[in-house]
Amino acid sequence: MLARLILLLTLLAAAPAAAWTDDVRCVQEQLVQAGQDPGPVDGVVGPRTLAALRTVAAQEGVTSGHALTSDTATTWCRRLGQADPALRAYWPSATNAVVVQTGAGVDPVLARLIRVRLPELHQEVAALLGVELSGTDRVFVGAGIDELRQMITGDRQHRPIANLDAVLEDHCNPSGRIGAFATPGVMVICLRPNTRLLTDLAYSTLVFVLTHEATHLVQFQLTGLPGSGTAADGRVRFEGPMWLLEGLADVVGHALGDRLDPLEIRELGARRYAGRSVPSLTRLQTRSDLLSRQDDVYQAGMWAASMLIERAGFSGAGRLFSLMGEGQPFPDAFAQVYGRSLDTFYAGFTAEAGPGQPPRPVKG
């Protein structure tokens, strides 16, 4: 079984807003092309940028959304291009959707495979969720902490990663061949030195890890980020609960990596709880919950997320994140996409997962 990865939605806070400007520049460039004056295209949100955005949004009928900050600009970058397709030429993704860097210590065959396969998987995830992406995501693949630290700190084309040394220490685990995490716009893959494909690392495991992380990158682009001082409940309303974010990433990983359908994934989730109780999803929502109940967040989350995919397809998840990026709180967006309240879904999941329920027949 793949060692469980903490994909630092949890421990990695976004870097201070002033440290990252590319998403705001994307908005400003589109405002200029739309005939407005946002001021200098400098990545700084000022009164002229806000006034220009209000004008263009009104003209295009974009009537809701988060306040424009460097943490929410990724949603506005995408929405402006959705409203006026001519502006998509100014999306960063028009040049590169994914940039992959591999360190010199990574086995050349494995490095080449990741450089080729990861952009394909990134696009497959977006297509599966039924969304177009406006931003450029950057991926660092290294053999161990020292190589990754040098690669990441030597590159200035990504949002800074807070507490980098501690995070690398957590994920470059000497007991495993591969560790990974995602932050907004960035994926980091840590391989144990001398790891070789097939001999040390199964292809299916590699694809699962890459796909899981790519799902987080897509979600970050769609929802944006809450402010750094947002309380735990506010973060859930803004970006969704941990059981969904991690559970969906596992579902997508199994769907694209193992070619399982949602019913098979749902049955896999149920089998993992054979003979033991399943926690309420209400206890698997916050980042603190992820730290204290990590296995349940992933396993019960995958089970619950597969039920949602069965109901509304993978595109339903893409629609959910898009609505949240437009400013709808998670419970409201959930009800709109899935046709029932979040409380109703939680109760239904508890009933299905409760003791004494007969097992679902295995497909085939």
Give the separation between CA 65 and CA 236, rounded to whole angstroms. 17
Q: What is the pLDDT of residue 355?
A: 54
Q: What is the pLDDT of residue 282?
A: 97
CB-based contacts of 57-60 (< 8 A; 24+ apart in sequence): 57/83, 59/34, 60/84
Q: Residue 125: what residue type?
A: V
Both tokens of residue 32?
Answer: 């200029």
The mean pLDDT of the chain is 91
> Which whole number is the average pLDDT over 177-200?
94
Q: What is the pLDDT of residues 28-46, one digit of tens each?
A: 999 999 999 999 999 999 9
Q: What is the pLDDT of residues 80-133, one digit of tens each?
A: 999 999 999 999 999 999 999 999 999 999 999 999 999 999 999 999 999 999
Q: What is the pLDDT of residues 309-334, one digit of tens each?
A: 999 999 999 999 999 999 999 999 99
C-alpha separations of 238 from 249, 296, 349, 355 in Å: 18, 22, 22, 33
pLDDT of 363 > 60? The answer is no
The total of other beta-carbon atoms located within 10 Å of residue 123's CB is 15
Domain range summary for the chain, segments of one domain joined by +? 17-93, 96-223, 232-353
Give the separation between CA 296 and CA 59, rounded to whole angstroms. 46
Residue 148's closest CA among 140, 137, 139? Answer: 140
Q: What is the pLDDT of residue 4?
A: 47
Distance of CA 70 to the CA centre of its chain: 17
Q: What is the pLDDT of residues 8-30, one digit of tens each?
A: 433 354 544 445 789 999 999 99
Q: What is the pLDDT of residue 36?
A: 97
> Which whole number is the average pLDDT over 338-357?
85
Q: Residue 36: what residue type?
A: Q
The CATH class for the domain spanning 96-223 reads alpha beta
Q: Which of 32-36, 235-239, 270-274, 285-289 has the lowest mean pLDDT?
A: 270-274
Q: What is the pLDDT of residues 243-283, one digit of tens each?
A: 999 999 999 999 999 999 999 999 999 999 988 889 999 99
Residue pointed to by tokens 């970058």: 77
Helices of type H across the chain: 22-33, 47-60, 73-83, 108-129, 145-153, 164-171, 203-223, 232-239, 242-257, 262-272, 287-292, 294-325, 330-338, 342-353
Q: What is the pLDDT of residues 203-228, one digit of tens each?
A: 999 999 999 999 999 999 999 999 88
pLDDT of 49 > 90? The answer is yes
Q: What is the pLDDT of residue 276?
A: 86
pLDDT confidence of 64, banded at 50, 70, 90?
Answer: confident
Q: What is the pLDDT of residue 147?
A: 98
Q: Are 102 and 143 in contact (CB under 8 A)?
A: no
3-state secondary structure of 21: coil
Q: What is the pLDDT of residue 5?
A: 43
> Which whole number is the average pLDDT over 66-82?
95
